[in-house]
């Protein structure tokens, strides 16, 4: 029965991630919440945090992303997403600390790893698919995100 349980969890995670990537955040969160904590990968936890952020569930997003970073501090994309959640709750000092720690983290990486972080950052924080699955800039990009965007352009 363990294999069957894992298959159910894997399907829920994949459906949740697919719905989130297509902009159907409420459906996505429903599936992502079905994934038992023991089966939640860093990717599932990150997508859950991003989905909570998109739905305006900022406190939940902060909790999810903070826990993710505590457990997997090398998950680079979680840092700007967490900073964005802090900004949305007007916790600007906390957001600034996260952005600066992320910049420090990036400076320690090899060139290919930095490029991967650039791609992840741009695809998850700055850009998102619209209803036609075309990628477009998000309407509101924070000062911290703009700062990181400029940093990555170097």
* This prediction's pTM: 0.69
Which DSSP symbol is given to 110? -
Burial class (CB in 10 A: 0-12, 13-18, 19+), 2: exposed
Question: How far apart are alpha carbons 72 and 33 in whole angstroms?
Answer: 20
What would the pLDDT profile of 119-135 be if each residue is shown by its tens digit?
555 555 544 555 554 54
Q: At what angle do helices 78-88 and 42-54 cross, to 10 degrees?
A: 30
Q: Provide the token pair at 2.
A: 């363990």
Q: Provide the token pair at 32.
A: 């992502």
**% residues pLDDT > 70 (the chain):** 61
Question: How far apart are alpha carbons 6 and 108 in whole angstroms?
Answer: 36
Burial class (CB in 10 A: 0-12, 13-18, 19+), 100: middle
Residue 70 has a CB neighbour count (10 Å cut-off) of 8
> Are the C-beta atoms of residues 54 and 25 closer than 8 Å to each other?
yes
Question: How far apart are alpha carbons 143 and 26 in whole angstroms?
Answer: 27
More confident site: 47 or 77: 47
What would the pLDDT profile of 9-63 be if each residue is shown by its tens digit?
588 889 999 999 898 999 999 999 998 788 889 999 999 999 999 999 999 999 9
Roughly how many angstroms between the first and final C-alpha of the chain, as a whole number? 51
């Amino acid at each position: 029965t363990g294999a069957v349980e894992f298959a159910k969890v894997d399907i829920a995670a994949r459906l949740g991630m697919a719905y989130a990537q297509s902009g159907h955040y409420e459906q996505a969160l429903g599936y992502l919440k079905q994934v038992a904590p023991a089966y939640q990968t860093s990717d599932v936890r990150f997508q859950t945090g991003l989905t909570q952020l998109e739905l305006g569930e900022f406190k939940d997003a902060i909790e999810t992303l903070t826990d993710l970073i505590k457990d997997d501090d090398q998950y680079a994309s979680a840092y700007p997403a967490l900073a964005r959640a802090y900004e949305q709750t007007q916790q600007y000092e906390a957001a600034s600390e996260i952005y600066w720690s992320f910049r420090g983290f990036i400076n320690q990486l090899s060139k290919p790893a930095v490029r991967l972080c650039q791609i992840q950052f741009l695809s998850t924080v700055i850009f998102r698919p619209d209803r036609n699955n075309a990628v477009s800039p998000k309407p509101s990009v924070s000062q911290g995100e703009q700062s990181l965007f400029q940093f990555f352009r170097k």
